[in-house]
């Protein structure tokens, strides 16, 4: 297949996963609208149908809560093929949605979409919603300065080693029986384990029991960890939002201030032992024991740190394809198990945005080449083994098709 054939296939995947104004990540495994998947889908659509790209973001933000939170899943239509569905979350939201958020990449990608396609009016309509969402992150997810997550699913990097410590403290004794659906769609050895799922569900049950009251969740919730990835994404997203505000002639210095405050709080995530920014448990102060791709997203935020760069260079050089989601030197590294080792094209694309901004042309080219090679060899899969390139997880994946069109090709 030539690259132009792959372009055609990628566009066909986006069209096939389109459910009318929103896309699903892939049929079967993920039958609803996911937050950061949709932002990537919008970026992909913008390369051949800009109006449809903006529609994707509009549908996502139409599900924004009055608090400003943009949920991580929007259950537009019922589908028994995924667990936990709307009935388990029981948030009472319209449209039905989950009760947590996901990485705030929308402003970063909306800015790029606008630069490529114009359409200032579509961006203008989105701006107050982006601002409200970023304010929500500031008010409800930065209890000690950096961005924290209240559930591993909120991080978008579900079972990465960052969360092991916090997850170990989650009590699962009252979870009860439930039936997973994910392992009916893809190889169970590539998915999070049973113990992980019990804990995921226990955290959801806590949120549901307190009516998704954020004060209670932050104060008494079973899981709260500082996330280097979301902190870095939010730094970049706030600076991009400030740039959007300038284009629109809006006068609000809040996003720049929020970005500076996040950057000033970064030392809290610095592990002397690992010489990297890693996740940290708010309750105990303990650091995660491995360097994940969350650290590499420092490049997206433009954070400079020589010691960290040396670690990242070693990690990248120890695999053949892309930035791995976990350090191959760590005991927890598993090259095909979801966020415990595989490389994810979308994360590579975010890192590349940072490399581009910093004028690091050679590294950006290398990351693009390695990611493109994975897709050329394996197709539009969810993620890949960084050692031998084996394609893993779901096929015909929206965000892999999107980043092929918008960046990797
Ligand atoms: C839970 C849809 C989502 C991605 C996440 C990825 C995975 C869900 C799951 O799939 O998470 O949100 O059920 O495993 O980890 O990043 O947004 O593609």
Range 153-161 average pLDDT: 97
Between the CA of 313 and the centroid of ligand 1 the distance, in Å, is 27
Range 318-340 average pLDDT: 97
Q: What is the pLDDT of residue 190?
A: 84
Nearest CA to ligand 1 atom 18: 25
The overall average pLDDT reported for the chain is: 97
pLDDT, tens digit, 9 for 90 and up, residues 296-307: 999 999 999 999
* Per-residue confidence band for 319, with pLDDT thresholds at 50, 70 and 90: very high
Between the CA of 156 and the centroid of ligand 1 the distance, in Å, is 6
From CA 269, how far away is CA 249, in angstroms rounded?
35
Query: CA nearest 337: which of 156, 165, 186?
Result: 186
Between the CA of 153 and the centroid of ligand 1 the distance, in Å, is 7
Query: CA nearest 276: which of 284, 262, 288, 258?
Result: 288
Atom of ligand 1 nearest to the CA of 192: 14
Q: What is the pLDDT of residue 174?
A: 93
Asked whether the predicted pLDDT for residue 112 surpasses 90, the reply is yes
Task: Point out the residues that are catalytic.
Answer: 158, 382
Between the CA of 275 and the centroid of ligand 1 the distance, in Å, is 29
Q: What is the pLDDT of residue 251?
A: 87
Asked whether the predicted pLDDT for residue 204 surpasses 90, the reply is yes
Burial of 117 (0-12, 13-18, 19+ CB in 10 A): middle
From CA 247, how far away is CA 378, in angstroms rounded?
40
Residues with CB under 6 A from ligand 1: 25, 30, 34, 36-37, 72, 153, 156, 158, 182
- Note the Cα 368 to chain centre separation in Å: 19
Q: What are phi and psi of 97, to 5 degrees?
A: -150, 170
Q: What is the pLDDT of residue 134?
A: 98
Q: Is the dihedral of CA 29, 385, 201, 36 positive or negative?
A: negative
Q: What is the pLDDT of residue 405?
A: 98
Atom of ligand 1 nearest to the CA of 102: 17
pLDDT, tens digit, 9 for 90 and up, residues 22-61: 999 999 999 999 999 999 999 999 999 999 999 999 999 9
- Element at 391 (helix H, strand E): strand 391-392
Asked whether the predicted pLDDT for residue 409 surpasses 90, the reply is yes
Range 155-178 average pLDDT: 96
Between the CA of 164 and the centroid of ligand 1 the distance, in Å, is 17
C-alpha radius of gyration, the chain, whole number: 19
In testing the pocket of ligand 1, which one of 13, 23, 25, 101 has its CB within 8 Å of the most ligand atoms?
25
Q: What is the pLDDT of residue 189?
A: 87
pLDDT, tens digit, 9 for 90 and up, residues 353-374: 999 999 999 999 999 999 999 9
Instruction: Judge if ipTM > 0.95.
Output: yes
Percent of the chain with pLDDT over 70: 100
Asked whether the predicted pLDDT for residue 398 surpasses 90, the reply is yes
Report how far apart, in Å, the C-alpha atoms of 131 and of each of 124, 137, 244 are.
11, 10, 10
Q: What is the pLDDT of residue 86?
A: 97
Length reported for the chain: 409
Q: What is the pLDDT of residue 382?
A: 97
Nearest CA to ligand 1 atom 16: 156
SS3 327: coil
Nearest CA to ligand 1 atom 14: 158
Pairing of strands 73-74, 33-34: antiparallel
């Amino acid at each position: 297949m030539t690259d132009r054939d792959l372009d055609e296939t990628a566009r066909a995947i986006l069209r096939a996963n389109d459910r009318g104004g929103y896309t699903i990540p892939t049929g079967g495994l993920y039958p609803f609208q996911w937050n950061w998947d949709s932002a990537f889908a919008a970026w992909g659509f913008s390369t051949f149908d800009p109006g449809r790209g903006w529609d994707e973001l509009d549908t996502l933000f139409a599900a924004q809560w009055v608090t400003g939170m943009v949920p991580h899943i929007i259950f537009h239509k019922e589908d028994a093929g995924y667990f936990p569905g709307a009935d388990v979350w029981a948030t009472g939201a319209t449209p039905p949605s989950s009760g947590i958020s996901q990485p705030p990449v929308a402003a970063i990608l909306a800015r790029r979409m606008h630069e490529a396609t114009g359409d200032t009016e579509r961006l203008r309509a989105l701006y107050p919603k982006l601002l409200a969402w970023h304010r929500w992150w500031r008010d409800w997810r930065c209890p000690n300065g950096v961005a924290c997550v209240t559930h591993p699913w909120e991080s978008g990097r579900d079972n990465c080693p960052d969360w092991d410590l916090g997850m170990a403290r989650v009590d699962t004794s009252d979870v009860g029986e439930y039936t997973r659906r994910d392992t009916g769609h893809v190889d169970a050895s590539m998915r999070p384990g049973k113990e992980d799922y019990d804990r995921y569900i226990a955290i959801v049950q806590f949120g549901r029991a307190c009516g998704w009251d954020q004060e209670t969740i932050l104060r008494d919730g079973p899981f709260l960890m500082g996330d280097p990835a979301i902190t870095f994404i939010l730094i970049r997203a706030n600076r991009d939002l400030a740039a959007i505000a300038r284009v629109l002639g809006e006068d609000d210095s809040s996003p720049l201030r929020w970005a500076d405050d996040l950057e000033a709080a970064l030392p809290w995530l610095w592990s002397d032992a690992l010489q990297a920014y890693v996740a940290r448990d708010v309750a105990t102060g303990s650091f995660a024991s491995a360097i994940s791709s969350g650290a590499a997203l420092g490049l997206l935020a433009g954070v400079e740190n020589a010691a960290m760069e040396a670690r990242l260079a070693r990690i990248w050089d120890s695999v053949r394809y892309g930035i791995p989601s976990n350090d191959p030197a760590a005991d927890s590294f598993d090259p095909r198990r979801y966020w415990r080792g595989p490389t994810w094209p979308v994360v590579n694309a975010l890192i590349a945005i940072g490399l581009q901004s910093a004028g690091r042309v050679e590294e950006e080219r290398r990351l693009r080449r390695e990611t493109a090679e994975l897709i050329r060899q394996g197709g539009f899969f969810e993620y890949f083994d960084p050692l031998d390139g084996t394609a893993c997880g779901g096929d015909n994946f929206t965000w892999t098709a999107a980043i092929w069109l918008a960046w990797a090709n």
